[in-house]
């Protein structure tokens, strides 16, 4: 469990910082002899780490990356580039993958959650689809007026 959490927290340091803040809050509460809230924070800290471990351990994520389209000159071969498929898991060998250009890639459930959240239209969720379309039209018309 410790190895998985070490790998996870070094990659997703913002979630690791939250765990450290919870640990500091626990130490503070115990130093002030506030045992009731200390037990609550300890239970939250344990549940947080166990939840991260359960969502990460033994899972594998596969993503496909489409290579960029290149313009064909008369001297190129006419083969189409194949999509690159990368698999990530919580083992130290496959946690991060370095490609031929030296770029390190990583993917896990946090990235899936972020993509899902980033692709939601909050205006459409809160006020409905028509309000979202009106808002997009008004901002687009202002942008075209500015040019």
Residue 43 lies in a domain: yes
Residue 74 lies in a domain: no
Residue 24 lies in a domain: yes
Residue with tokens 């692709």: 119
Domain that includes residue 24, residue range: 1-57
pTM for the predicted model, two decimal places: 0.66
pLDDT-wise least confident of 18-27, 29-38, 84-93, 135-144:
135-144
36-71 per-position pLDDT tens digit: 999 999 999 999 999 999 998 888 888 777 766 666
Q: How many domains does the chain have?
A: 1
110-125 per-position pLDDT tens digit: 888 888 888 887 767 7
Residue 94 lies in a domain: no
Residue with tokens 């190129």: 76
Residue 114 lies in a domain: no
The per-residue pLDDT for 40 is: 97
Handedness of CA 43, 12, 109, 93 (dihedral sign): negative
Residue 122 lies in a domain: no
| Cα atoms in the 13 Å half-sphere on the side-chain side of 38 | 11
Residue 3 lies in a domain: yes
Residue 46 lies in a domain: yes
The per-residue pLDDT for 116 is: 86
Under 8 Å between Cβ of 64 and 83: yes
């Amino acid at each position: 469990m410790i190895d998985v959490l070490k790998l996870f927290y070094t990659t997703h340091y913002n979630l690791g910082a939250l765990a450290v803040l919870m640990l500091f809050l626990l130490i503070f509460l115990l130093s002030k002899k506030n045992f009731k809230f200390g037990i609550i924070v300890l239970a939250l800290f344990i549940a947080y780490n166990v939840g991260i471990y359960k969502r990460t351990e033994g899972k594998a994520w596969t993503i496909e990356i489409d290579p960029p389209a290149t313009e064909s000159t008369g001297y190129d071969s006419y083969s189409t580039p194949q999509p690159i498929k990368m698999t990530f898991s919580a083992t130290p060998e496959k946690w991060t993958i370095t490609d031929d250009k030296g770029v390190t890639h990583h993917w896990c459930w946090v990235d899936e959650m972020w993509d899902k959240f980033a692709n939601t239209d909050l205006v459409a969720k809160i006020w409905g689809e028509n309000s979202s379309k009106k808002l997009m039209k008004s901002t687009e018309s202002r942008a075209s007026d500015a040019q």
